[in-house]
Amino acid sequence: MLSTSSILLALVASGPIFVTAHGVVSQIAFGDVLVDAWAPYTDPYRSPMPEKLTREYNSNGPIEDVTSAAFTCNTNGATENVPVQTIQTGVKAGDSMTFYWTVWPDSHKGPVMTYLADCQGDCSTFNATGDVWFKIDESGYSNGVWASDTLIQNNSSYTTKIPTTIASGQYLLRHEILALHSASSVNGAQWYPSCNQINVTSTGSLKPAGVAIPGYIKADDPGVLINIYTTLTNYTIPGPAVIEGGTSGGSVSNSSASTSVASGSSVVSSGVAAAATSSGTQASTGQQISSTGGATNSSAGSTPSGKSSCSTRSRRHHHGQRGIPSREQRL
């Protein structure tokens, strides 16, 4: 009988292991500045471990319990939602803001939502609990097309903006996709959130009322407990209404903004800004140059459509970050 180690060695020798698809935001473009987000399968193993604007989390799997602390900013074991101590990325209100996801699976259909929470001072000491979250953008379902479908068409990216109506200050930026392929049962909906600490410069003065995350959204809300494989005539996006000055449907998105970053933009890695060359940030073929130095393919792949299932029990199953092999692929 073969030992466990022999079986593992045989699997490794056979080549890369391809596993269940989930996803994370790998980079964010704020205007013409491209910033690396947290990479849960590589950053914890680097020495020194990089500091980034994203609050750390430990996998690309979903959050399914809307009452858990992990629902705020994703899970990191026993230390959910830990503030980043030094990184607050500067953002100008009104500028475009593009979230570049790892390749998003076609089967994971659902809405895309973006929130802010006023850190009420320094984000490095802000725990984001209580009625602090307000929604600045949402996109759901229209004419048979989900927001996730549009994201895939835009090379697994989503573009919106920081409202010009809000006051200047430090904010926690929460962006998420809600996958509804298994949402016909309670806690079957899959949430993929992440939180990023930013410093907003604005001429606005609005300080919107907020809601609690977790707290406001319930597991049996109409847009959370739903069978998307029936004929849908409409869809109710979970959460509060978008604030004054916010956007619906990623309305500032366009083909150039959502699939590329302007030539000559700055690339920020591990909190250090570095000027990009005219060809360094985005190649004309749709390949993006990651901060690790490799060209990465940002074109969206797809999986066969139809109902599929994946749960937090398989959170270690993943694809790698953009341009970075997953831990399984590096074995």
State pLDDT tens for residues 77-121.
Answer: 767 788 888 777 899 999 999 999 999 999 999 999 999 999 999
pLDDT at 254 over 60: no
**265 within a domain of the structure (yes/no):** no
Maximal C-alpha separation, the chain? 71
CA-nearest of 21, 22, 39, 17 to 330 is 17
Full-model pTM: 0.75
Q: Please report whether residue 321 resides in a domain.
A: no
Q: How far apart are CA 182 and CA 309, in angstroms?
A: 6
Residue 308 lies in a domain: no
| 267 is a domain residue | no
53 domain residue, yes or no: yes
282-319: buried (b, 16+ CB within 10 Å) or exposed (e) per residue? Answer: bbeeebbbbbeeeebebebeeeeeeebebebeebebbb
* Residue 17 domain-assigned (yes or no): no
Give the pLDDT confidence score for residue 89 in this predicted structure: 86
Query: Would residue 236 count as lying in a domain?
Result: yes
Q: What is the mean pLDDT of the chain?
A: 77
Question: Is residue 59 domain-resident?
Answer: yes
Q: How many domains does the chain have?
A: 1
Where in the sequence is the domain holding 235, given as residue range(s)? Answer: 28-255
- The tokens 């049996």 sit on which residue? 220
**The domain that contains 115 carries what CATH number?**
2.70.50.70
Least confident of 33-47, 191-205, 266-280, 299-313: 266-280
